Amino acid sequence: MIMKHAAPISPVEIDEASGTVLLRTTHSAYVLRVDRAAGTVRHVHWGAPLPLADAVALPVWTEHDNSFAGRWDGVEEYPVDGGARFGVPALDVRFTDGSSPLEPTVSDVTLRAHDHLVVRMRDRTRPLAWHLHYRVPADGDVLERWAEFHHTGTDDGEILLLRYASAHWPLPQRPAWRIGSVHGGWSSEGRLERPVLPVGETAIGSRRGHTGHHANPWAALDAGDAGEEHGEVWVVALAASGSWRLTVQRTAAGRTGVVAGEGHEGIELRLAPGGKHRTPVSLALHTGHGFGDASRGFHHHLRAHVLPHPEEPRPVLYNSWEATSFEVSEDNQLALARRAADLGAELFVLDDGWFRGRDDDRAGLGDWTPHPERFPRGLRPLADEVHRLGMAFGLWVEPEMVNADSDLFRHHPDWVLHLPDRTATELRNQLVLDFSRQEVTEWALSRLREVVVENAVDFLKWDFNRSFTEAGVHAAGPDARRVHVEHARGLYRVLDRLRADFPQLRIEACAGGGGRVDPGILARTDQVWTSDNTDAVDRLTIQHGFSQLYPAGVMSAWVTDSPNPLTGRVVPLRFRFHSAMAGVLGIGGDLTRWSDTALAEAAELIRVYKDIRPVVQHGRQYRLLTPGEGPLAAVQYVGEDGDRAVVLIWRPSTAFGPALPPLRLRGLDDGARYRDEETGRTWSGATLAGHGLPLPDLPPGDCASTLVRLRRVAAPGREE
């Protein structure tokens, strides 16, 4: 008998007769319908998988027929300002005559590739076209969308883009909605909330010129009945590293959708005749298996389709900042490097204070040559010794910033963001260089090339320590504030070219902690500094919020001194390590003051981390117990091949109460057996999931923690 293999199902299917398009991910379907007669593209379905025949037969939702209703509101894939549309537009423009309404029509629908759909639209009479792009990346559930705008005229004057979103994501009808997102501030990032979504417009975003500590460009929506591992969840994100906004609209008529785009109100872009603009990518997914599955879907997508080197293990780093601050010298850095190497660190990072004029934070930014008094021989002898010790050499830089007290500012005062008749505001004693200007980014690229080559740099910690103010351009004009989005594009160009020039260079993105974390920056960096707050207890909450969208393999986490330099909290070394071992482990304390006992314990914990690193950095993450919702917090990782699992358990404070129940694990094979590598006891996957892992004894007192390593020891269906 000859077996016939079914042809793979195309990720994009089109029914020409009805204009229906079906986009398939691994576990979901997204359906739209091109209505050429009405000149629009209407949304049909986003949720569980369905066949094309059913997609063709599905009706399109319509509003009540009355003169006060917006017949298109919530129905269109990409709503514009014009006609009977009263909802949030994805596209809003102003033409040279001052008019703004658009009258859309569909030009054509094409498959650019088997997984890439393009719907070309234009205004019926005006010289503006906009192309809607849909892409279905392989082996996952994330969809990608973006838009391109084209001024199709020749002598019609400029067109002003007032709102230019990447996508509008319509949601199905549900009786109620919750919106999940993170908020916070400097050193308090990632605070997760899921309030009820009210009728009206709910906006989250950043007006700061960077992604921001106070919010992050994603939102998770559910009907109020989803949990960590059950229920339908829809997540929308944006790959934007400048200013951005997500606007979630819920209408009284029962429609809900998310408009995702860069910029904010007042950030206008001008299209000259023949000009075009492409938006950042918006990413979204649907799952029927809760917030945890949604997170794992995004983790997989970022590793498979976004990160430059997802397969590489992120090294255990040592950073000198908290040990020496600005008081760096060749001698004290060499002493720290030798201790770090003895512990097992793989990367040594020299932080702020290494360059000319940098005795404190009031001077030196922009003058990227070694401090002549602190490093009279330059940085190369230090780099060479770090390499001899078996570690990579890293360097802190902040290329987008300048101090007024610097040679760079004295030579180029016009390079900073400013408006000619406004006083420039200094924050942290520094100003922002205008990376929307080619001469500025060319200078930055040239200087960084020299720094990397002259100092044998393997790793850059790229910082960004203030938000935008007076954010105009030198040649101020009607769209002078475009730097809120164009600055990030200049940053991308520098990073892309730098990485092309130095393929072995690795980069950590930092912005006073987690102030620039998004899928756009992750496409050009290898990890991100999660927060300037290294308090191991606070970090549990910060890391919980971070994990909603981003994988542990990009989450830089340090072990620092106790009492904590920021909070003053006293935390045992073991708890500090276990907190940081939930991501990319780093050490940031003053090793010259650690006792021999502490150094020995740290070396052993680093050895354990290297053993579990493949599971933590590349495995599937399961959030078992949420920080702050009970006496314990716990997270689990399962290796890519399913053979290993790691469980981290923390008890931040001691409280009297009943004995704690077993910890029910996730993601294991029910029919396999797993051995606890510390105790030697074995359990079936079914027992660990159903009954739970009996909790190991925790040390007495506050800030107790433990780590459990499990290894599969018998194949499915067989006893040990």
Q: What are 352-377's pLDDT values in tens digits? A: 999 999 999 999 999 999 999 999 99
- Give the orientation angle of helix 536-546 with respect to helix 573-580, to 10 degrees: 10
- The confidence score (pLDDT) of residue 2 equals 38
Residue found under tokens 């920021």: 566
How many angstroms separate the most distant Cα atoms in the chain? 83
Cα end-to-end span (Å), the chain: 38
Q: Is the pLDDT of residue 165 over 90?
A: yes
Interval 565-588 mean pLDDT: 98
Query: What is the band of 418 on the pLDDT scale with cuts at 50, 70, 90?
Result: confident
SS3 64: coil
Determine the residue type at 489.
R
Strand partners, 401: 432
Interval 651-663 mean pLDDT: 86
State how far the Cα of 68 lies from the Cα of 36, in Å rounded to an integer.
25
Retrieve residue 211's tokens: 């992604």
State how far the Cα of 644 lies from the Cα of 80, in Å rounded to an integer.
50
Residue 225 CB neighbour total at 10 angstroms: 11
Lowest mean pLDDT among 223-227, 471-475, 642-646: 471-475
State how far the Cα of 296 lies from the Cα of 677, in Å rounded to an integer.
26
Residue found under tokens 């780590």: 707
Query: What is the band of 3 on the pLDDT scale with cuts at 50, 70, 90?
Result: very low
- The confidence score (pLDDT) of residue 655 equals 75
Query: Given strand 200-206, what is the order of strands in its sheet?
Result: 167-171, 256-262, 244-250, 200-206
Interval 291-301 mean pLDDT: 98
List the domain boundaries for the chain.
12-51+70-306, 317-616, 633-714
- The confidence score (pLDDT) of residue 475 equals 53
Whether the Cβ atoms of residue 79 and residue 164 lie closer than 8 Å to each other: no
State how far the Cα of 300 lies from the Cα of 401, in Å rounded to an integer.
34
- The confidence score (pLDDT) of residue 267 equals 92
- The confidence score (pLDDT) of residue 4 equals 41
Whether the Cβ atoms of residue 282 and residue 143 lie closer than 8 Å to each other: no
pTM of the model as a whole: 0.96
Candidate list 81, 532, 535, 561, residue with the active-site label: 532
Q: Which CATH superfamily is domain 633-714 in?
A: Golgi alpha-mannosidase II (2.60.40.1180)
Q: What are 421-448's pLDDT values in tens digits? A: 888 899 999 999 999 999 999 999 999 9
Q: Is the pLDDT of residue 472 over 80?
A: no
Q: Is the pLDDT of residue 660 over 70?
A: yes
Candidate list 351, 463, 518, 561, residue with the active-site label: 463
Interval 524-531 mean pLDDT: 98
- The confidence score (pLDDT) of residue 1 equals 34
Retrieve residue 605's tokens: 């914990």
Backbone angles phi, psi at 301, to 5 degrees: -65, -45
Query: What is the band of 307 on the pLDDT scale with cuts at 50, 70, 90?
Result: very high
The DSSP code sequence of 660-719 is: PPPB---S--TTSEEEETTT--EEEHHHHHHT-BPPPPPPSSSSEEEEEEEEEEE-TT--
State how far the Cα of 195 lies from the Cα of 572, in Å rounded to an integer.
35
Interval 654-675 mean pLDDT: 91
- What DSSP character marks residue 54? H
Determine the residue type at 621.
Q
Q: Is the pLDDT of residue 716 over 60?
A: no
Question: Alpha helices, DSSP H only, in 458-582?
Answer: 483-501, 519-522, 536-546, 573-580
- The confidence score (pLDDT) of residue 697 equals 87
Q: What are 244-267's pLDDT values in tens digits? A: 999 999 998 889 999 999 999 889
Identify which of 488, 494, 104 has the alpha carbon closest to the alpha carbon of residue 279: 488
- The confidence score (pLDDT) of residue 545 equals 98
* Four-CA torsion 248, 250, 251, 256, nearest 10 degrees: 90
- The confidence score (pLDDT) of residue 720 equals 43
What kind and span of H or E run contains 293? Answer: helix 290-301
Query: What is the band of 474 on the pLDDT scale with cuts at 50, 70, 90?
Result: low
- The confidence score (pLDDT) of residue 715 equals 60
State how far the Cα of 482 lies from the Cα of 473, in Å rounded to an integer.
8
Interval 550-566 mean pLDDT: 97
Q: Is the pLDDT of residue 57 over 70?
A: yes
| Rg, Å, the chain Cα set | 27
Residues of the chain with pLDDT > 90: what percent? 89
SS3 302: helix
Interval 638-642 mean pLDDT: 96
Whether the Cβ atoms of residue 12 and residue 136 lie closer than 8 Å to each other: yes
- 532 is annotated as an active-site residue: yes
Residues of the chain with pLDDT > 70: what percent? 97
Q: What are 581-627's pLDDT values in tens digits? A: 999 999 999 999 999 999 999 999 999 999 999 999 999 999 999 99
Interval 126-138 mean pLDDT: 97
Class of domain 317-616: alpha beta
Retrieve residue 320's tokens: 């000198």
- The confidence score (pLDDT) of residue 654 equals 87
Query: What is the band of 72 on the pLDDT scale with cuts at 50, 70, 90?
Result: confident
- What DSSP character marks residue 300? H
- The confidence score (pLDDT) of residue 156 equals 82
Question: Alpha helices, DSSP H only, in 150-259?
Answer: none
Q: Is the pLDDT of residue 414 over 60?
A: yes
Q: Which CATH number fits domain 12-51+70-306: 2.70.98.60, 3.40.630.30, 3.30.420.40, 3.30.565.10?
A: 2.70.98.60
- 384 is annotated as an active-site residue: no
State how far the Cα of 92 lies from the Cα of 111, in Å rounded to an integer.
27
Whether the Cβ atoms of residue 348 and residue 391 lie closer than 8 Å to each other: yes
Burial of 697 (0-12, 13-18, 19+ CB in 10 A): exposed
Mean pLDDT, the chain, rounded, equals 95
